């Protein structure tokens, strides 16, 4: 095993000695995560609706209404009179609290600027109506004694009725923002860089006669091949560690609540990418061929596997056909963990498929590798 480890470390050393590796394996992937994450909205979920609130009343009931407006998908901005208003603004009139408690009709104005997104404005309107209904419901419960303390006690009370929402039928949520760009970039660049560098180094070894000399070592060809596979897995693992740190620290992406499931998928994907690199290096003759074919393979597998855009937006037949590729299984697993919050049970099938690819590619690579 020591000899296998030394062969693996040697392959990793050759990769990181290459000056271009810093750009292709470090700088460029992080830039891609940021660029495509911003294009997709930046956040891990749906974009938030910005709603300005101009409180001209300033009393306890208007503040209670503002508190009811707080929502996961609403970004509130309190503005003062005379300030520049956001794209959409709710104006609470002066005397709102006194008038409402006196059972006098009150008029709230929701103003939208020209060019404001209509769907976002409708979402703000729905949120406002929902908040008004909750405030009126609590005031009704308080009957003739609507005091701030009593209202706050009602607001802290657990809801009497809860509505549990779940996806039914064949609906599929579409990952957006960094929840798509971070796993997509990781999947794409790990495959491409491992494939290109791994295949190039193997073709160099064949051309320079190193593979023939290694075959003469008292290790056995099986161990030598295992060392080369391990070296490429170390290469993929180093990239994965960097991309995970960048996704978490720079872009705030949570990789789910199943560390075991994440490690299983990452190991299986690193093995599949490493096996593919050895297969290409075995069947190709020159480093130039390995570089070109590795680039083409990475681009095709990345596009069809859902690395550049969510596979959920693809036609169903193309989504199904894409699962003859390891990238599609990897993206399924990452989305299950990141976007849908599932556990290890959701990634067992994708991980098994990736390990199947790893075995297939490795066996074919060992079969076609010429040692002389």
Residues 300-348: pLDDT tens digits?
999 999 888 877 677 888 888 899 999 999 999 998 888 778 889 999 9
> Which has more confidence, 220 or 346?
346
Per-residue tokens: 156: 């802290």
Residue 4 has pLDDT above 80, yes or no: no
Note the pTM of the prediction, 2 decimals: 0.66
Q: Among candidates 157, 226, 210, 183, which has minimal Cα distance to 14?
A: 210
Please give the pLDDT value at position 360: 96
The 3-class secondary structure across 123-153, one letter per residue, is HHHHHHHHHHHHHHHHHHHHCCCCCHHHHHH
Dist CA 93 CA 105 (whole Å): 12
Please give the pLDDT value at position 49: 80
Q: Band the pLDDT of 23: cuts 50, 70, 90.
A: low
Q: Among candidates 198, 190, 192, which has minimal Cα distance to 267?
A: 190
Please give the pLDDT value at position 177: 79
Give residue 341's Cα distance to chain centre.
11
Residues 154-186: pLDDT tens digits?
888 887 788 776 655 554 556 777 888 899 999
Residues 101-135: pLDDT tens digits?
888 999 999 988 887 778 788 888 888 998 999 88
Residues 189-212: pLDDT tens digits?
999 989 998 888 889 888 888 778
Please give the pLDDT value at position 167: 58
What number is the average pLDDT over the span 258-283?
Answer: 94
Residues 288-304: pLDDT tens digits?
999 999 999 999 999 99
Q: Band the pLDDT of 39: cuts 50, 70, 90.
A: low
Residues 55-79: pLDDT tens digits?
999 999 999 999 988 876 788 888 8
Please give the pLDDT value at position 173: 58
Q: Band the pLDDT of 17: cuts 50, 70, 90.
A: low
- Paired sense of beta strands 88-92 and 109-112, if any: antiparallel
- Compute the 3-state secondary structure of the chain and give helix, strand, coil in percent, each to the nearest 5: 65, 5, 30
Sheet with 74-79: list strands edge to edge: 74-79, 49-55, 88-92, 109-112
Residue 6 has pLDDT above 60, yes or no: no
| Domains, in order of start, for the chain | 2-43+175-368 (no CATH), 49-156 (3.40.1710.10)
Please give the pLDDT value at position 314: 78
Residue 8 has pLDDT above 70, yes or no: no
What number is the average pLDDT over the span 133-145?
Answer: 84
Query: What average pLDDT does the chain have?
Result: 84
Per-residue tokens: 139: 């005031």
What number is the average pLDDT over the span 80-94?
Answer: 85
Please give the pLDDT value at position 155: 84
pLDDT over 90 percentage in the chain: 35
Residue 187 has pLDDT above 70, yes or no: yes
Q: Which residues contact 251 (CB under 8 A, 6 or more apart)?
A: 33, 34, 37, 178, 181, 182
CB atoms within 10 A of CB 100: 20
Q: Among candidates 55, 66, 57, 56, which has minimal Cα distance to 134?
A: 66
Q: Among candidates 252, 120, 239, which has minimal Cα distance to 181?
A: 252
Dist CA 215 CA 272 (whole Å): 24
| Residue that has been written with the tokens 């190193």 in this structure | 210
Residue 47 has pLDDT above 80, yes or no: no
Question: Do 283 and 370 meet the contact criterion of CB atoms below 8 Å apart?
Answer: no
């Amino acid at each position: 095993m020591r000899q296998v480890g030394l062969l693996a470390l040697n392959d990793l050393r050759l990769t990181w000695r290459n000056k271009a590796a810093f750009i292709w394996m470090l700088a460029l992937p992080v830039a891609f995560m940021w660029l495509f994450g911003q294009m997709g909205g930046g956040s891990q979920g749906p974009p938030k609706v910005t709603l300005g609130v101009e409180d001209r009343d300033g009393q306890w009931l208007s503040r209670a209404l503002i508190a009811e407006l707080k929502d996961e998908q609403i970004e509130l901005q309190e503005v003062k009179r005379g300030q520049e208003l956001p794209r959409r603004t709710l104006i609470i009139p002066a005397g709102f609290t006194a008038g409402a408690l006196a059972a006098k009709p009150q008029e709230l104005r929701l103003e939208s600027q020209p060019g404001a997104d209509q769907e976002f404005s409708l979402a703000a309107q729905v949120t406002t109506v929902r908040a008004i209904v909750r405030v009126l419901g609590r005031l009704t419960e308080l009957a003739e004694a609507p005091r701030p303390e009593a209202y706050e006690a009602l607001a802290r009370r657990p809801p009497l009725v809860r509505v549990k929402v779940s996806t039914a039928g064949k609906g599929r949520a579409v990952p957006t923002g960094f929840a798509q760009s971070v796993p997509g970039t990781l999947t794409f660049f790990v495959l491409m860089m491992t494939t290109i560098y791994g295949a190039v180094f193997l073709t160099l070894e064949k051309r320079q006669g190193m593979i023939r000399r290694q075959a003469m070592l008292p290790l056995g060809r099986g161990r030598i091949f295992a060392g080369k596979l391990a070296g490429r897995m170390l290469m993929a693992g180093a990239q994965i560690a960097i991309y995970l740190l960048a996704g978490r620290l720079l872009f705030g992406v949570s990789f789910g609540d199943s560390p075991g499931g994440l490690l299983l998928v990452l190991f299986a994907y690193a093995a599949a990418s490493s096996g593919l690199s050895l297969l290409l290096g075995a069947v190709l003759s020159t480093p130039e061929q390995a570089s070109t074919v590795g680039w083409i393979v990475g681009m095709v597998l990345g596009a069809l596997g859902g690395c550049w855009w969510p596979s959920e937006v693809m036609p169903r037949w193309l989504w199904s056909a894409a699962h003859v590729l390891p990238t599609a299984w990897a993206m399924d697993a990452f989305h299950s963990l990141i976007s849908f919050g599932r556990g290890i049970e959701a990634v067992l099938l994708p991980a098994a498929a990736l390990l199947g690819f790893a075995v297939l590619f490795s066996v074919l690579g060992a079969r076609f590798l010429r040692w002389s």
